[in-house]
């Protein structure tokens, strides 16, 4: 289980830097990956529609061992995006909590 504190600190730093949204999403996905998740994708979308905004490493398909998708929600509870992580090992409860916290921290990427 990755230590969430350095990941969350880095995400907040990325969000505070001026720049375009896609560039920030790329840096965010890389920061989460470097924090201990082998493959990370960030998606725009609500309902059944999702469009990949960024992923790290830059490959279209994640490893097939374990996948976890965490919705990013606005204040009304509607899904505005998604954070997805994949790896070769089974994810544990601590991994889910870390990714859920990351999803909360990156909400400003969607203006919420």
Cβ atoms of residues 77 and 43 within 8 Å: no
Q: What percent of the chain has pLDDT over 90?
A: 62
Work out the average pLDDT over 69-79. Answer: 92
> CA 23 to CA 26: how far, in whole Å?
5
**Which of 40, 43, 39, 45 lies closest to 53, judged by CA?**
43
pLDDT at 34: 92
Please say if the pLDDT value at position 62 is more than 80.
no
Strands of the sheet containing 79-87, edge to edge, are 51-56, 39-44, 79-87, 66-73
Please say if the pLDDT value at position 57 is more than 90.
no
> CA 12 to CA 6: how far, in whole Å?
10
pLDDT at 29: 96
Cβ burial, residue 15 (10 Å; 0-12/13-18/19+) = middle
Among 6-15, 60-69, 74-83, 89-98, name the one with the lowest average pLDDT.
Answer: 60-69
Q: Does domain 4-110 have CATH number 3.40.50.300?
A: no
The first and second tokens of residue 65, run together, are 């061992």
Q: What is the mean pLDDT of the chain?
A: 89
Please say if the pLDDT value at position 87 is more than 70.
yes
Q: Which helix (H) or strand (E) holds 112?
A: none
pLDDT at 1: 63
The model's pTM is 0.89
């Amino acid at each position: 289980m990755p230590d969430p504190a350095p990941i969350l600190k880095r995400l907040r730093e990325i969000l505070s830097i001026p720049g375009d949204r896609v560039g920030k999403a790329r840096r965010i996905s890389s920061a989460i990956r470097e924090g201990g998740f082998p493959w990370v994708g960030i998606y725009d979308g609500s309902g059944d529609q999702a469009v990949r905004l960024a992923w790290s490493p830059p490959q279209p398909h994640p490893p097939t061992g374990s996948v976890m998708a965490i919705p990013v929600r606005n204040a009304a509870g509607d899904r505005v995006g998604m954070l997805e992580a994949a790896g070769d090992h089974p994810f544990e409860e601590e991994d889910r909590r870390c990714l859920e916290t990351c999803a909360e921290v990156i909400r400003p990427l969607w203006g919420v």
